[in-house]
Structure 1
Amino acid sequence: MEFYEKIEQVTTKDEFLEFLNLLSKDFKINVDEWENKSINYYLEAIESWIESMESYYKNSDLPVPNNIDWNFLATIFYVGKIYE
């Protein structure tokens, strides 16, 4: 499965939910392919990537997103801690 292709297709809530489901299934099936196998390392990797994401976009000749809703993303990550 090419996740980069799937990421490009995510434009709606339903597509985002489908992507999360695929990511979860991939972890269960291909855990040996995952660099970050614990929630701690996974979150640290996300933090590191966000810190240097401008370089990723510049190296990929893609525009750096300028309409990111950081508050909404923070909410998503927080509710993963408390939601049943």
Structure 2
Amino acid sequence: MDLDSQALNMSSRADLVEFLGGLADSFATHPERWQNANLPDFLNAWAAWLEDMDGYFQNRGESVPTSASWQLIAQMLLAARVYE
């Protein structure tokens, strides 16, 4: 399954783990497909998309998510800085 399909069908922590592995593989094998090819650019793009995500969902005719725990995502990123 491609990364876009994985993202749309994500339903568990295990799915996210598999997705992240696929994302890393994508960068390793096809870096030319990545516009944000370093960590600062990637994080800045992530922040910009997050800030503008309402428009993304509205343009797709979907409701903007309100129940996602963005705190959990932040905690995962913080833990990833030191977890081996």
TM over 0.5: same fold?
yes
1:3-37 CA distances to partner (integer Å, 9 max, x unpaired)? 22111111011111111111010000010110111
* Alignment-derived partner of residue 33 in structure 2: 33
Q: CA deviation at 1:71?
A: 1.3
Give the TM-score normalised by the residue count of structure 2: 0.92
What does 1:4-83 correspond to in 2, within 5 Å?
Answer: 4-83=4-83
Q: CA deviation at 1:41?
A: 0.5
Give the TM-score normalised by the residue count of structure 1: 0.92
CA distance in 1, matches of 2:8, 2:52: 20
1:36-57 CA distances to partner (integer Å, 9 max, x unpaired)? 1111100000000000000000
Q: Count how many residue pairs are aligned between Structure 1 and Structure 2.
A: 84
Q: CA deviation at 1:64?
A: 0.7
Amino acid of the structure 1 residue aligned with 2:43: L
- Identity rate, percent: 25
Superposition misfits of 4+ residues, deviation over 6 angstroms: none
- SS class of match (1:21): helix
Q: CA deviation at 1:68?
A: 1.3
- Could you tell me which runs of 5 or more consecutive residues in structure 1 were left unpaired when the two chains were aligned: none
If asked which structure has higher relative contact order (CA below 8 Å, sep 6+), I would say 2
CA distance in 1, matches of 2:43, 2:31: 16
CA distance in 1, matches of 2:15, 2:73: 16
- Could you tell me which runs of 5 or more consecutive residues in structure 2 were left unpaired when the two chains were aligned: none
